[in-house]
Chain A
């Protein structure tokens, strides 16, 4: 007994869910469309958007690992019933052999020829009668469910599925295309039901194409219209193109061509069962051979008599006035990207109620079935792989070292060390040095990095140079222990950070020391051979704060000035021409070690004097006296008073420098010096604001500074 449950009563959406056995459903063809996202700045855009695509693609590639092919027998029947009532049983039509099909698809044409049906597309009482007849004719001993049916005027398509298989069916949709008068009325056209069995998408199309011998091109066009315009679920993307299998049944109306053979001859051949010779003139075969219609479709061999046109109730070809030529109007074709075999293709002459004979085909389809457990395993592997790839795609780099040690850095003497940064990964990466938390600059003022950022291609090496250079500005940031210590953060964009440690020490020097300290150090600040053991014991020269001042001025200052006094009094452009770095280094070593000053240019010594004066942590005119001095910059008596309030050694330095400059000026007829220039140069060195001044303020204070000094260059001053 057939257990008939009207499966169509449920809502389409619920149905799709209810019949879906595999929630993670895979569509076969649309993957290339998914996830074509715009590329984001981060290298991980595929992780954000494309991961879905990547998983889909990987699953598709590996689907054989977790799917099995399962056979499914599909019986397709097409019959133009010529508007007749179902007066015959359909048992033999719906069970063509003793094996009940898994899926039964039946397509009728001219089910109802009444004008009301044609114009109003209303319910058809004949439809109900034929449905009842089919239900009664379904194979016995097996339960079927009506999956879906759709009617377009006289074109009815019905799909039944074995109940035991229903859980493997999902995504059931319908669609229809009219090709009749004005392309609107549904007397001609096609309907379709689309569904998935397991992972395989199948569409059944039932069509009734244009009639008459000469309308071949019209029929071709009808086919093309139906194939391209068919949409399911009103979804523009849901077409016949993305089905794994399309089975096309119906009264396609292709005739036996009368171009080369007369209707009489055709009829004679047909009555003698000469199928072979007749088929040579079959229009559908002709058109398909010319690739004009049903491209990519396949039809099995025709071993049956023409299915049209018979005198109803008989097996005799039409003897009416019209005397239609016999033809194979009723056909079944398919197109498939999976294994599909036709087991049986025949007509059913036993059915006599119509002027057409029904045609059936049994198609053996291999559907793809998901093994849920295997699929989960494959999915786990894919996800793990993606995580690994995500980590591998992070920038991979190698540094030849992460620690730089600068031994014995001397004042104003650059030392350089390189680090090589190699790209050991597969993609290019960007690197940059970044400031540490709460830092603004990426490194201390005594260090320079070149380059600070860049891009390295795979396999390539970038040489990053680290230069330690200690000038007066950097000197102020170095502690009394003279240690250089810095950790740099080298950041790979979108990846890890490296810490690079830079260490070293500044060789003891009189530059940057306080005047008040220097006057308490009678010995050279550094022994000449001190470079050797300096690492073990920083050569800290003890400054005894309590000890009486040993010197009037720092002896290093005296050495420089004395040298200039002896060699530069008649030199033109003194303090206007720059010296050489090497000479300045020689002066530094000479005064620090009490060695002889040996230079190639006197201007190097002059510049050393400026640098030395500029290096004092507290300027010659101490910060606390700076405002007063500016105020009295044009009042010599007050300026002298201000000077008297200063520390003894600072005052001495100031007096000493001014006396020396006056000495130079006294020879101005030979060295062409002038007080204005010298007070400008020395004003900015001897007097300095504690905090940086804004541009416009600095301009006016600079003038006051030189005015202050100018008084002492143009007036004798000694107390």
Chain B
């Protein structure tokens, strides 16, 4: 019997990025609460959610930061990328403009996170297939060209939401296993437990976000 069979041994930090209205907060809500939030207000700031998942028999606490998508906040939200182990980059399959902006989001994600950060491309609102404006094939191609993992999800029905978050965790865990991700490094977005509770920024707590700035 493990000493702590119900407790987690890792913390992974995620960020969710993408244009306004693509469903970032709804994805977070669906993942943490298993519910769809109709009439979700625009996020004016950065929301924060957690859930403990199991990957390869490891309990992992996901710390998810859901950022405001509005262009005017772009400069501010950039400060939240630092130390993310996973980045979920979301567009809306019914609005091409949100897809067209991906390269700009990707540039930010690449520049502001570490090279091992797992970037997951999510085409959300797959339940609105009739209003589709971006084909799955072209998004797949885009993902392939840029080395991203890709899934179409629906925050409304829950389709693939679990998979996207868990697959990201699996990839991060893989990076830890093969040694490419340095545990507990400030930039890695991954913390291993049990370890002495660190009061510094390595804990990745919102409270300490600015300590090392």
Contact = CB atoms under 8 A, between A and B. Distances in A.
B8 to A, nearest CB: 8
A672 interface: no
B186 interface: no
Nearest to A49: B7
Given A434-B210, A436-B76, A499-B68, A494 B205 contact: yes
B193 A48 contact: yes
B51 interface: yes
A52 B48 CA distance: 23
A212 to B, nearest CB: 48
Given A24-B1, A387-B52, A434-B209, A496 B46 contact: yes
Nearest to B210: A434
Contacts of B76: 436-437, 487, 489, 499
Contacts of A597: none
Interface in B180-213: 193, 197, 199, 203, 205-207, 209-210, 213
Interface in B11-48: 32-34, 44-48
B75 interface: yes
B5 A497 contact: no
A144 B199 CA distance: 57
A489 B210 CA distance: 12
Nearest to B207: A493
Interface string A565-581: 00000000000000000
A499 B44 CA distance: 6
A235 interface: no
Given A48-B197, A496-B48, A25 B73 contact: no
Contact of B73 (A23, A52, A387, A487): A487
Nearest to A392: B33
Residues of B contacting A: mostly: mixed
Contact of A42 (B46, B207, B209, B213): B207
B206 A497 contact: yes
A40 B32 CA distance: 24
A40 B7 contact: no
A487 B50 contact: no
A98 interface: no
Given A436-B75, A499-B68, A42 B7 contact: no
A499 B203 CA distance: 23
Interface residues of B, number: 37
A391 B32 contact: yes
Contacts of B210: 434-435
B78 A494 contact: no
Nearest to B193: A48
A386 B32 CA distance: 11
A716 interface: no
Nearest to A395: B48
A560 B110 CA distance: 58
A383 interface: yes
Interface string B61-95: 10000001000110110110010000000000000
Contact of A501 (B46, B50, B52, B72): B72
A388 B193 contact: no
Contacts, number: 94
A227 to B, nearest CB: 28
A387 B32 contact: yes
Contacts of A324: none
A52 B7 contact: yes
Contacts of A47: 61
Interface in A377-397: 379, 383-384, 386-388, 390-391, 394
A55 interface: yes
Contacts of B207: 42, 491, 493-494
A501 B75 CA distance: 13
Name which of A402, A437, A487 has the most chain B CB atoms within 10 A of its CB.
A437
Contacts of A24: 1, 5
Interface string A466-507: 000000000000000000000101111111111101000000
Contact of A41 (B1, B33, B49, B199): B199
Contact of A497 (B45, B61, B78): B45
Contacts of A41: 199
A544 interface: no
A229 interface: no
Contacts of A25: 1
Interface string A30-64: 00000000001110000110011001000000000
Contacts of A501: 72
A574 to B, nearest CB: 48
A487 B7 contact: no
A461 to B, nearest CB: 19
A457 B50 CA distance: 23
A123 B159 CA distance: 69
B44 A402 contact: yes
A402 B42 CA distance: 12
Interface in A383-429: 383-384, 386-388, 390-391, 394, 402
A495 B48 contact: yes
A388 B6 CA distance: 15
B37 to A, nearest CB: 13
B56 interface: no
Nearest to B203: A42
29 contacts: A41-B199, A42-B197, A42-B205, A42-B207, A48-B7, A48-B193, A48-B197, A51-B8, A379-B6, A383-B52, A384-B34, A391-B33, A394-B48, A394-B49, A434-B210, A436-B75, A436-B79, A437-B78, A437-B213, A487-B72, A487-B75, A490-B45, A493-B207, A496-B46, A496-B206, A497-B45, A497-B46, A497-B206, A499-B44
Which 3 residue pairs across A and B have the least CB separation, nearest first? A437-B79, A498-B45, A55-B6
Interface of B: 1, 4-8, 32-34, 44-52, 61, 68, 72-73, 75-76, 78-79, 82, 193, 197, 199, 203, 205-207, 209-210, 213
